[in-house]
Amino acid sequence: MASPAIPSATSQRTIVTDVMSRVGQTPQLLSARQVATTAKATTYTVRSGDTLSTIAKHVYNDQAAWPVIYYANRKQITDANQITAGQVLKIPAKPAHLPKAPAAFGPAAVVTTASSASSGSGSTVADSTYSGSGGFASCVIARESGGNSQVMNSSGHYGLYQFSESTWEAYGGSASDFGNASVAEQNQVFDNALARGGESNWSAYDGC
């Protein structure tokens, strides 16, 4: 009985291309995804609507890996929240350990509050920076936000302690305050997190 025919190299490439097109992967994304398992770097051309997180999701299948792309392209990315369609980004191999996200990407916001006219004290400006009262909390603040109480990074983590929205709410933070919370509320949510989850929520990442 005759042996089954073995597809030629050209036929095999055609089959692979056809399969990938059926699952919605463009040649660009297929090439970029190979970076996660090989040592070769490649490039990715930014498209409208892209963010570093969505690109990391495409190329590494891990949106938390966006700092890898950010640090590899520091010469053309000055603000991780702002990339432009048409930019050609380097996509390095995904490292075994992801680098920490930069603490802040822009100037600190200034929060102003006005006292009542009857008090005669005039308006005051609330300090948008806070370094903590020492110990573990101060270490976390320094590593996570640099003391900027209103910073929001490109992966959606907010404030002095860089809570995600879901974690913020899980530890008692007001949903409506996420992204605009007072230092006092942020400290309270942090205290709640320590009471329920311990220092391990941060110590494993910040070295505090």
The angle at the Cα of 51, spanning 45 to 53, to the nearest 5 degrees, equals: 110
> For residue 192, with 0-12 CB atoms within 10 Å meaning exposed, 13-18 middle and 19 or more buried, which class applies?
middle
List, in order, residues 6 or more apart from 36 with CB less than 8 Å away: 59, 60, 61, 93, 94
- The pLDDT tens digits of the residues spanning 156-205 come to 888 899 999 999 999 999 999 888 889 999 999 999 999 998 888 787 77
Give the separation between CA 105 and CA 89, rounded to whole angstroms: 18
Cα distance between residue 185 and residue 78, in whole Å: 31
Homologous superfamily in CATH for domain 21-91? LysM domain (3.10.350.10)
Class of domain 111-206 as given by CATH: mainly alpha
Q: Are 85 and 46 in contact (CB under 8 A)?
A: yes
Tokens 């311990």 sit at which residue?
198
* pTM score, whole prediction: 0.43
Percent of the chain whose pLDDT exceeds 70: 68
**CATH 3.10.350.10 region(s) of the chain?**
21-91
pLDDT of residue 98: 84
All CATH 1.10.530.10 domain ranges of the chain, comma separated, are 111-206
Mean pLDDT (the chain) is 74
- Provide mean pLDDT across the span 2-13: 51
pLDDT of residue 174: 92
- Alpha carbon distances (Å) from 82 to 85, 87, 146, 153, 202: 10, 11, 20, 11, 27
